[in-house]
Structure 1
């Protein structure tokens, strides 16, 4: 695959590019030091996924995202240190494929890249937690579990999907029932969906 890394801090950009090039399925990694350079690369090269910082000179990562949505099929991944709600909401509105925080490993970033190339979205749980209404009593992890329950997954399957023990999943499920006043999975799911909590 061909990737683009747009990051104005050269040391960080170089390190990230070198690490990505060590991955077996990465063929080329283009670099951009600012938003205008990123757009120039997207115009000239075939890029499967672009990894963009938000705060860059000339044009921000959000500007590049909005340009790409109008002019390109490239998957866009915002990687940032900022948990600002406004940035996140603007990115989601523009159709960002993934919006994740920088405190992740290369293997986690590669997993995100594969997720978006498969057509799915990914947002850091911390960001989602920030914008969820206070009325929703469910934690981000509890919402994830309920969404998997909605897909018909067993506790064992949920534990594997979320890298949790069976006991931890059962504890989360019990907490969900208590918070929603539900007697079973079906009731909990019905309540959460009706209230648009998941």
Structure 2
């Protein structure tokens, strides 16, 4: 496995530090860096990037807007790495498709593990970030009457941070069947990303 990572942060010291620390893991390669969201969007559109590591507050285009564009226009998966855990930033980033939201006070090992998890379609969030999600409403709400028992099992598995493959293994179904269930759940709710499914469950809306 060779995970191609983009580092996007307006702090040069942070970028340089991550460029040194991340490749210490043999499965990660830093392919590019950016100092604002606009640069990150262009790089992801023109370069093969598996995971974009994005700060929130940056000039020109912030991390939230960058996530929105990158997710909608490329196959790059986005992981927020920031010092800011304000509820607005958390909810907006996840609503636009970020697969993780972690803080810079994490250890290098934790950041590396988060990158790998996001690469494997697993949702990653610090515990205090989860607390903010549970305490705030994210629309649209999900009505439990909409789902079959199997679909609810899928939703719970997603909320545990399991990838499609792991969901299939846990529920003894194929990866393709798991994907089909997730597509049905998204259609029923009007949600756009599996991360949003997890948010709704964690908020007690199912």
When normalised by structure 2's length, the TM-score is 0.63
Structure ranking higher on relative contact order (CA contacts 8 Å, 6+ apart): 2
Residue 68 (structure 1) shift = 0.9
Residue of structure 1 in register with 2:126 after alignment: 124
Q: What is the match of residue 103 of structure 1? A: 105
Deviations 1:78-110 (A, max 9, x none): 011111000101011112100011111111111
Q: Does the CA-based 8 Å contact 2:45-2:70 persist in structure 1?
A: no
Q: Distance in 2 between matches of 1:8 and 1:96?
A: 19
Where do 1:53-92 residues align within 5 Å? 53-92=55-94
- Unmatched runs of 5 consecutive residues or more in structure 2: 137-155, 161-200
Does residue 196 (structure 1) correspond to residue 204 (structure 2)? The answer is: yes
| TM-score, normalised relative to structure 1 | 0.66
Whole-angstrom CA distance in 2 between matches of 1:41 and 1:130: 31
Over alpha carbons, which structure has the higher Rg? 1
Determine whether 1:93 maps to 2:101: no
| Aligned residues: CA RMSD | 2.3
Which residue is 2:45 aligned to?
A: 43
Structure 1: give runs of 5+ residues left out of the alignment: 135-146, 152-192
Q: 4+ residue runs of structure 1 moved beyond 4 angstroms?
A: none
Number of aligned positions between the proteins: 142
2:117 to 108, 115, 118: 115
CA spacing shift, 1:23–1:196, aligned 2, 3 Å: same
Paired residue for 1:16? 18
Deviation at 1:70, TM superposition (A): 1.1
> For residues 50 and 133 of structure 2, what CA distance do their matches in structure 1 show?
29
